[in-house]
Each structure stands twice: as C-alpha cells, then as structure tokens.
Amino acid sequence: MSPQQKPLGIVVGVDGSPSSTAAVEWAARDAEMRNVRLTLVHVVPPVVAGGGFWPETPAPGGLAELQEGEARQVIEDGLKTALEASSPDRAEQVHSEVRNAQIVPTLIELSKDADLLVLGCRGQGALARALLGSVSSALVHHAHCPVAVIHDEDPAQSHSPEAPVVVGVDGSPASELATEIAFDEASRRGVELVAVHAWSDMGPLNFGTPGRAPIEWANVKEQEEEVLGQRLAGWLEQYPDVPVRRVVVSDRPAPRLLEQAENAQLLVVGSHGRGGFTGMLLGSVSRTVVNSAQIPVIIARKP
C-alpha cells in the first residue's frame, strides 16, 4: 500500500554541495522505486547590497547575473546527477526548477505538495556528522511531509542493497506513520524490516535499590513483545512480502536504533515519540538519530 501521491512527488533540495549530490542520487532511486515524480529545486535567496546604518538595496546587475548563472549551473548539475541515477525511461518524470526566494519558507511551502522532502546534511567539515545544517535542521522541524536527511557518503555504496530497513516503534501517532513508511520502503527494496521497540526511556534496567523491589525485565518483556506485535499486526497483513525481525529492549531508544542502523540501509523514526511535545518540535530520539546516523534517515512528519 502506498500513500496517496502528491503533485510534486519527491522534492529534493539542490545546492551543489557533496551532501546535496548524495541527496539527489538517493531521491532519484527512491522516486523510481515509488514510481512518482522527482522534483529538483534550487532556491536562490535575494541578493542585497548595503548593511550597517545604510538601508539595504537590490544588488548591482552584475552580481545578480552572476548569481543567476551559478543557479543555472547548480540545477543543471543536479538534473544530470538525477538522470544518471535513474532508468532512461524515467526522464519525463524528472523535473527541475530555480526559485528566487527565501530558502526555508519556500521549501516548507513546497512540502505541502510533496510525498517526501529530501535534503543533504551539512557539507564537509568536522561538525558535519554531529550537527545538521541550518536549512535541513529547520525543515525536519517544520516540513508538512516526511523528510529524508542524507549524509555525504553515497548511500548506494555505503551499505548493501540487501541490508534491512530499521524503524522505531513506540505507539505514538508519529511512530505509526514511521511504521507505514518503513514497511513501504522495505517492500519496494525487497528487504527485511527491523522493528525496534525500547520499553524504558530511563536506560537499562538495573538491580533494585534498598527498600524498593527491583523491576525485572523478564516480567515485562513478554508484555512489551505483545504490544509490539499489536502495533505491527495490521501492517503485516498489508505487506505479507516483508519479513520482520522484532527487537524489544530495556533501554533508551536512540542508542539501540543507532546500533541497528550500523548494518542497515535506511532508518525511519517519528518526529516525536510518546513522551514528546507535538506540533513543531523534534523529539529527542529523532534529533539524536538524525544527527548521528551514517545512513539515510526519514523523519515521519504529518501536515
């Protein structure tokens, strides 16, 4: 079962950086698997001159022309990358455009008509793997559709195409959407789905303290396995072709999701969990995962 397709299909932000190139390649392959349109967008913010105590004015014509030329080159390079990553018969389904506007508001608006928004993480440098760039960070918080964040490495080369898809399951509405996305992605890839359910948000269970009875993991594991089974039951019926490996642990979710991601090709998590705030905030688990994972991460967001 696939979600209802939206007009723009998969939208990928293009800026010419190495992580942007990796994002275009991944988005092209994912759009082909889903058989949806791929829309490449390069957003050029307004160029202004001035500053300090002087009012800002439009930039001189020469600077504007230079920016326009660079924008054309960026989008042409992105389009070439997308077509090379796609089958020849996909050319009519690949579109590109340049928009002159503020970057974040423009991509947020486009996300209303997208099945998925794909972005590269921040580019090269020591902090690239620890922190998201300002644009990708803003969009994983505010987009109106799921957001995929792609790191600099070529996703097609870093992990085997037979590697599984991993999803975090905690029973929240965002987790339910993440589960739907993960089943769909695993089905299209023909791979196993690893469903991770972390029972405790307080870390591994230890011995009880004096005067208090210890919480025995054995006493609750069977119950939590049943909970996970209930969360997966409907999706197993809709995707009988997807083999599922269930991982139920007594630990914080993020470390165990990252552990499973080491041998996976894709990780899917909700934008906020059962204990998080709703609305525009990104939950602590999804924030940790998207900052730390070395594979593509889809953050399941709803309009």
The rounded distance, in Å, linking the Cα atoms of 193 and 264 is: 9
Out of 33-42, 77-86, 97-106, 196-205, pick the least confident.
196-205
* The pLDDT of residue 250: 82
274 — pLDDT class (breaks 50, 70, 90): very low
167 in Cβ contact with 193 (< 8 Å): yes
Q: Give the HSE-up count for residue 50: Cα atoms under 13 Å, Cβ half-sphere.
A: 9
* The pLDDT of residue 152: 64
Find the farthest-apart pair of alpha carbons in the chain and give their distance in angstroms, rounded: 77
Query: Bridge-partner residues for 94, per DSSP?
Result: 38
H or E element at residue 65: helix 61-85
CA 217 to centroid of chain Cα atoms? 32
* The pLDDT of residue 111: 97
* The pLDDT of residue 1: 43
Q: Give the HSE-up count for residue 129: Cα atoms under 13 Å, Cβ half-sphere.
A: 7
Number of neighbouring beta carbons within 10 Å of residue 91: 11
Out of 26-30, 151-155, 265-269, pick the least confident.
151-155
133 — pLDDT class (breaks 50, 70, 90): low
Domains and CATH numbers, the chain: 10-47+65-150 (3.40.50.12370), 165-295 (3.40.50.12370)
Number of neighbouring beta carbons within 10 Å of residue 126: 6
pLDDT digits 0-9 by tens, 189-228:
999 999 999 876 444 444 444 444 455 656 677 878 888 9
162 — pLDDT class (breaks 50, 70, 90): very high
171: left (phi over 0), alpha (psi -120 to 50) or beta: left
* The pLDDT of residue 200: 61
Nearest to 185 by CA among 62, 293, 75, 29: 29
pTM score: 0.84
Indicate if the pLDDT at residue 277 is higher than 50.
Answer: no
Which tokens belong to 76? Answer: 């042409």
48 — pLDDT class (breaks 50, 70, 90): low
* The pLDDT of residue 284: 79
- Please state the rounded mean pLDDT for residues 245-267: 92
The rounded distance, in Å, linking the Cα atoms of 199 and 26 is: 32
* The pLDDT of residue 165: 98
285 — pLDDT class (breaks 50, 70, 90): confident
